């Protein structure tokens, strides 16, 4: 395996339990009670648990074939982190379902689709999709960790805890599936074509889910509610051209996730969330991370 990208970061699971904190999350929990933002966050959360299971299955298929002991340890950490992500998002989704979202239905649809894919699609193609989707989640994660506007959009503290921690660990293991794909001989052609499909498929899929969710929410029919919310959402960094360009960077021949460095960012958030004793601390305020340090603004 090519180790030209230097030392690989440590990837280790953490003990996190946020279920009880979700009990106080209201229906429109996003910053300022924003309607569309709440539905976007709920839609993302609803696909995470079974998406994480798909990632685990795709990577674990090749675990016994990995010769590099460091990568094998990273894979073990990756699986442990993704298991915990899935568990915590399932708990969040279960609560959202009780306050009027259809997150459990969305979970079932996602699960059925991914189970079908695992049965019908070659393992290498599934690993290519996992590596591409890990770039999508890492891009969103680094946005969460660098953008004050994005941080404020989560609103409720329990939701902040969930997405800050998830973002940190996505950034820690962002290259693991990619390195497994490369170590197992995955081709550049498949990698690039897969990302082209993933970029559009992910955006269209989440977009349709948000639209359906909004149509089922009575609050959407209050005069001016959607218009007011859209004026706010359309200027959010998540919908910016910079994010799209960062996703496209994956399609550059020879790309590696470490081309978008994040070591300092990860270290800042490790200290902020877990400190010296490794326990999740209360999240209050924001870390002082300059916006210009965001990898999203460095990608080409």
pLDDT at 287 > cutoff 70: no
Cα separation, 162 vs 96, in Å, equals 14
The three-state secondary structure class of 231 is helix
What is the spatial distance between Cα 292 and Cα 300, in angstroms, rounded to a whole number?
14
Q: What is the DSSP string of 247-284?
A: HHHTTSTT--GGGS--HHHHHHHHHHHHTTTTSPPP--
Q: Yes or no: say if 88 and 15 are a contact pair by the CB < 8 Å rule.
A: no
User: How do residues 134-175 score in pLDDT, each as one tens digit?
Assistant: 999 999 999 999 999 999 999 999 999 999 999 999 999 999
The rounded distance, in Å, linking the Cα atoms of 247 and 15 is 30
C-alpha 117/C-alpha 111 separation (Å) is 10
pLDDT in tens, 29-58: 999 999 999 999 999 999 999 999 999 999
Confidence of residue 15 (pLDDT cuts 50, 70, 90): confident
The pLDDT value given to residue 298 = 43
User: How many Å apart are CA 204 and CA 60, to the nearest integer?
Assistant: 28
Q: What is the mean pLDDT of residues 61-89?
A: 96
pLDDT for 252 equals 96
Q: What is the mean pLDDT of residues 293-297?
A: 44
Specify the pTM. 0.89
d(CA 220, CA 167): 29
pLDDT at residue 150, rounded to an integer:
94
Residues 6 or more apart in contact with residue 209 via CB below 8 angstroms: 43, 46, 47, 106
- Number of other residues whose CB lies within 10 A of the CB of residue 119: 7
CB atoms closer than 10 angstroms to residue 272: 18
- The mean pLDDT of 223-242, rounded to a whole number, is 93
Place of tokens 């009990």: 23
Q: Does position 6 have pLDDT exceeding 60, yes or no? A: no
The predicted model gives 59-71 an average pLDDT of 96
Task: Give the pLDDT of residue 297.
Answer: 41
Rounded mean pLDDT of 235-240? 90
Residue 127, pLDDT > 90, answer: yes
Rounded CA separation 166/89 (Å): 10
- Rounded CA-CA distance 161/157 in Å is 6
pLDDT in tens, 101-110: 999 999 999 9
- Predicted local distance difference test score (pLDDT) of residue 1: 38
Three-class secondary structure of residue 240 per DSSP:
coil
Q: How many CA atoms lie within 13 A of 234 on its CB side?
A: 6
- What's the pLDDT tens digit per position in 108-126? 999 999 999 999 999 999 9
Segment 185-196, tens digit of pLDDT: 999 999 999 999
Residue (of 251, 124, 111) closest to 193 by Cα position: 251
């Amino acid at each position: 395996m090519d180790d030209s990208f230097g030392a690989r970061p440590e990837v280790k699971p953490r003990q996190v339990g946020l279920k009880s904190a979700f009990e106080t999350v209201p229906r429109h929990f996003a910053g300022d009670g924003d309607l569309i933002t709440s539905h976007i966050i709920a839609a993302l959360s609803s696909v995470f648990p079974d998406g994480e299971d798909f990632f685990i299955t795709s990577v674990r298929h090749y675990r016994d074939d990995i010769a590099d002991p460091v990568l094998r340890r990273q894979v073990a950490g990756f699986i442990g982190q993704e298991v915990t992500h899935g568990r915590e998002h399932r708990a969040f989704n279960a609560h959202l379902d009780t306050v009027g979202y259809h997150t459990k239905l969305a979970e079932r649809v996602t699960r059925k689709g991914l189970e079908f894919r695992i049965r019908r699609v070659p393992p290498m193609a599934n690993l290519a999709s996992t590596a591409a989707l890990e770039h999508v989640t890492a891009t969103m994660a680094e946005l969460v960790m660098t953008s004050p506007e994005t941080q404020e959009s989560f609103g409720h503290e329990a939701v902040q805890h969930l997405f800050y921690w998830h973002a940190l660990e996505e950034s820690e293991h962002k290259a693991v599936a990619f390195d497994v794909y490369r170590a197992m001989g995955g081709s550049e052609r498949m990698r690039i074509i897969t990302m082209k499909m993933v970029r559009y498929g992910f955006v269209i899929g989440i977009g349709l889910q948000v639209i359906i969710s909004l149509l089922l929410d009575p609050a959407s029919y209050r005069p001016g509610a959607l218009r007011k919310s859209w004026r706010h959402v359309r200027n959010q960094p998540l919908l910016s051209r910079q994010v799209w360009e960062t996703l496209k960077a994956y399609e550059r021949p020879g790309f590696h996730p470490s081309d978008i460095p994040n070591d300092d960012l990860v270290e800042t958030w490790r200290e902020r969330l877990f400190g010296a004793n490794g326990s999740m601390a209360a999240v209050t305020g924001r870390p002082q991370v300059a916006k210009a340090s965001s990898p999203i603004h460095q990608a080409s």
